[in-house]
Amino acid sequence: MTRYILLAGAAALTLSIPAAAEKGGKGEGKGGGKPAAAQVDRHGGGHGRAAKPDKSQHRAAKPDKSDRHVARADRPVDRVSGDRGRSGKVDRRAHGQAAVRGPDRIDDRRLSDRRRDWSPSRGDVQRIAAWDRNCPPGLAKKHNGCMPPGLAKNRFGVGDRVDRTIYSSYRLPAGYQSLYYDTQAYYYRYDNAGNLYRVDSRSNMVSGLIPLLGSSFVVGQRIPAGFASYNVPVQYRDTYYDSNDSWYRYGDDAIYQVNPQSGTIESIVALLTGDLSVGQPLPAGYDVYNLPLDYRDDYVDDQDYMYRYADGGIYQVDAKTQIIKAIVEMLV
């Protein structure tokens, strides 16, 4: 019975110090302990604390410690604390709406990470590098992907010699490690700026350069970042649509078949020109009649009109003005 009274007393004490909780921010009266405060929330406010009355009393007896946490709560530590969502709840109560932004933003990032599971953005790659344990704090501050000042200016080319001691810590982004792993003959290094180098183990010379970021679409490699969403031109959508076996992505005037599991480009299924557009003049390079045999009887060049095929469609061109008048047939 005495024990219960003690527990009740402890709970009452906790409830009676909302001011301390406000000051403490994320601590909610528990003194600002980072993850522990979150545990309190998860288990129903005061219950967790009531189970440990001695700590509550200890905290209450040392208000100066709470004061220390006031200053700590003002720092953006909350945003990188272990339990982001729960610390967000505490902040809402403690600091008002402005303080809520940080945790909400983190929640958004988590959601977006879930969506683009295999295509890290350039920012993600830099963050991965900056969080790497091998990245000195000074370099991490520069936000250049942990690139040493000298190396940032000097990218390697094929045939250049790579000093293993310099590059020993340049690990690949996690998503690429299963595709480019070191072997006896070669090892792979990433310069944190979008370039992957294949280095000959014996000579330490770069024998291959593989651009991971930017507009490089190469079969066998992961599709560049930013192509997570279906973007095939509308006329090809009935032919190339995403399924469990294959995804299709458009870029660099081509449609690529992508493995949904690995994100690697498996083949190039269509090549486009992007040249022809209704209302525009026929560009150079379309002097030659090029319709498929099945359509040649229907669309014959004459004095009034010419017909040219490109990107899945047959275009009608005014023979005199050379202006593209219409798309008269779609073949895909």
Q: Which residues bind another protein (CB under 8 A)?
A: 158, 198, 207-211, 216, 218-220, 239, 253-254, 256-257, 265-273, 275, 283-293, 296-297, 300-303, 306, 308-312, 331-332
Residue closer to another protein (CB basis): 47 or 296: 296
Residue closer to another protein (CB basis): 18 or 220: 220
Q: Find residue 270's DSSP bridge partners.
A: 255
Give least dist CB 331 to another protein, A. Answer: 7
Give least dist CB 259 to another protein, A. Answer: 12
Whole-angstrom Cα distance, residue 135 to residue 151? 14
Q: Which of 89, 112, 111, 86 is nearest to 100 (CA)?
A: 89
Give least dist CB 71 to another protein, A. Answer: 54
Residue closer to another protein (CB basis): 64 or 287: 287
For 300, residues 6+ apart whose C-beta sits below 8 A from its C-beta are 307
Residue closer to another protein (CB basis): 267 or 321: 267
Residue closer to another protein (CB basis): 106 or 276: 276
Residue closer to another protein (CB basis): 167 or 256: 256
Give least dist CB 21 to another protein, A. Answer: 59
DSSP letters for 74-92: HSGGGGGSS-HHHHHHHHH
Q: Find residue 161's DSSP bridge partners.
A: 205
Q: Which of 67, 87, 64 is nearest to 77 (CA)?
A: 87
Token pair 């969502």 is at which residue?
85
The gap between the terminal CA atoms of the chain, to the nearest Å, is 82
In order of 12, 50, 60, the CA distances from 55 in angstroms are: 14, 9, 9
Give least dist CB 119 to another protein, A. Answer: 19
Give least dist CB 193 to another protein, A. Answer: 18
- Phi (first) and psi of residue 328, to 5 degrees: -95, -15
